[in-house]
Homo-oligomer: A and B are copies of this chain.
Amino acid sequence: MELGQTPKEIRQAIRQARYTGGTGGLAPSYVQANLVILPQAQAYDFLVFCQRNPKPCPLIEVTDPGNPEPAGVARGADLRTDVPRYRIYREGQLEAEVTDIVTEWREDFVAFLLGCSFTFEQALLQAGVPLRHLEENRIVPMWRTSLACRPAGIFRGPMVVSMRPVPAPLIPRAVTVTARYPMAHGAPVHIGTPAQIGIADVRKPDWGEAVTILPGEEPVFWACGVTPQAVALEARPPLVITHAPGHMFITDLPDHALAVL
């Protein structure tokens, strides 16, 4: 494939529809982001929701109304074309999955980019913490929890978490490594007994696929970027556009730009 190497080259290939696949593994060590697009009428509540729930909703960019360029994280990029696949929801119902949203774009649209777990997973791997879902080639398992997000306007709902089993001796390292990235969900929200956060069966995720938990490992739970998408859909605003799962926006920010230490 002639995808190129830099985020800009890859976005160019995506823009020209030469690439419409998932972005996992592309431009490693560059920040990828979750996308939520809303009309400005709902944007204020969503901004406050993100401020109140920074672990599941780490906001790395908000565009000016009508302007599809996320200038703070990828100068010259166009959020109408530079994501491989979009999902369009009306009143909370999936209407279409498309490879660009040029015809759907409106002057009152605001795009939100949120940090994603790819960033901290890269950091975990570099720190020697294995990732079972990658070893088993599965989608990371995710659950709705009993942890309530703090509501804001029309947006409310439970926190969604992802789970990675971690060998007990590596848990402190897994915590400190991810804590360095508050803009990519940060430190775990829970370690151990799944029932304490309302997860009935750790073998039956609400999204993604179950992974093996070996003896001597504890399940470690991080706030998940599915939270803002689930919350945005449950509010049933007239229109929401998101990326399709796994088909993220690739920014020009190197991962270390999100690290606090």
Shortest A52–chain B CB gap in Å is: 6
Shortest A231–chain B CB gap in Å is: 17
**CB contact between A51 and one of B40, B47, B152, B180 (< 8 Å): that residue:** B47
If A43-B44, A47-B44, A47-B51 touch, whether A261 touches B179 (CB-CB below 8 Å) is: yes
Complex Cα–Cα for A260 and B188 (A):
11
Tell yes or no: A62 within 8 A of B by CB: yes
If A47-B47, A182-B260, A186-B260 touch, whether A62 touches B52 (CB-CB below 8 Å) is: yes
Shortest A108–chain B CB gap in Å is: 12
Tell yes or no: A48 within 8 A of B by CB: yes
- On chain A, which size bracket covers the interface? 20 to 34
Within 8 A of B (CB), among A20-58: 40, 43-44, 47-48, 51-52
Chain B hits for A180, CB < 8 A: 260-261
The count of identical subunits is 2
Within 8 A of B (CB), among A49-84: 51-52, 59, 62, 64, 72
**CB contact between A72 and one of B40, B43, B72, B150 (< 8 Å): that residue:** B150
Tell yes or no: A176 within 8 A of B by CB: yes
Complex Cα–Cα for A64 and B52 (A):
11
Tell yes or no: A187 within 8 A of B by CB: yes
Complex Cα–Cα for A182 and B181 (A):
11
If A72-B150, A261-B180 touch, whether A51 touches B44 (CB-CB below 8 Å) is: no
**CB contact between A62 and one of B51, B72, B182, B187 (< 8 Å): that residue:** B51
Complex Cα–Cα for A62 and B46 (A):
12
Chain B hits for A176, CB < 8 A: 261
Complex Cα–Cα for A95 and B11 (A):
51
**CB contact between A48 and one of B52, B62, B182, B260 (< 8 Å): that residue:** B62
Chain B residue at minimum C-beta to C-beta distance from A259:
B179
Shortest A224–chain B CB gap in Å is: 19
Within 8 A of B (CB), among A114-155: 150, 152-153
Complex Cα–Cα for A61 and B47 (A):
12
Name A's B-contacting residues (CB within 8 A). 40, 43-44, 47-48, 51-52, 59, 62, 64, 72, 150, 152-153, 176, 179-180, 182, 186-187, 260-261
Q: Could you write out 11 A-B pairs with CB less than 8 Å apart?
A: A40-B44, A43-B44, A47-B47, A47-B48, A52-B62, A176-B261, A180-B260, A180-B261, A186-B260, A187-B260, A260-B261
